[in-house]
Amino acid sequence: MFKKLLPLLFLFAGFQVNAALIANWSFDEGTGGVAVDSSGSLLNHDLTLVGGYSWNTSGKFGNALNTPIGSYGVMNIDNIDIGSNWTISGWFKDYHLTGDWNTLTRGTADHQILGEAGSEILGAYDNYSGSAMHGNDNNFAMTSLASSVWHNIVAVGAGGDTDYYINGLLVGTSNFQSLTDVHWIGGLGSGQTFAGSIDDVGLWDEALSSADILTLQSIEANNIHAVPEPSLIVLFGLGLVGIGLARRRQS
| pLDDT grade for 247, boundaries at 50, 70 and 90 | very low
Average pLDDT over residues 106-119: 95
User: What pLDDT is attached to residue 218?
Assistant: 81
Q: What is the pLDDT of residues 119-170, one digit of tens each?
A: 999 999 999 999 999 999 999 999 999 999 999 999 999 999 999 999 999 9
User: Considering only 49-63, 156-170, 197-211, 233-247, which range has the smallest mean pLDDT?
Assistant: 233-247
Average pLDDT, the chain: 83
Average pLDDT over residues 10-27: 66
User: What pLDDT is attached to residue 237?
Assistant: 26
pLDDT of residue 108 exceeding 90, the answer is: no
CB hemisphere CA count around 95 (13 angstroms)? 28
CA-to-CA distance for 243 and 39, rounded, in angstroms?
18
Q: Is 44 left (phi over 0), alpha (psi -120 to 50) or beta?
A: left
User: Considering only 96-105, 181-190, 234-243, which range has the smallest mean pLDDT?
Assistant: 234-243
Q: What is the pLDDT of residues 33-90, one digit of tens each?
A: 999 999 888 778 999 999 989 999 999 999 999 999 888 888 766 789 999 999 999 9
Instruction: Give percent of the chain above pLDDT 70.
Output: 79
| CA-based nearest residue to 218, from 236, 243, 197 | 243
* All structural domains of the chain: 21-217 (2.60.120.200)
Average pLDDT over residues 111-121: 98
pLDDT of residue 233 exceeding 60, the answer is: no
pLDDT of residue 198 exceeding 50, the answer is: yes
User: 3-state DSSP call for residue 108?
Assistant: coil
Angle between helices 2-12 and 210-220 (to 10 degrees): 170
Position with higher pLDDT, 182 vs 6: 182
User: 3-state DSSP call for residue 142?
Assistant: helix
CA-to-CA distance for 20 and 199, rounded, in angstroms?
20
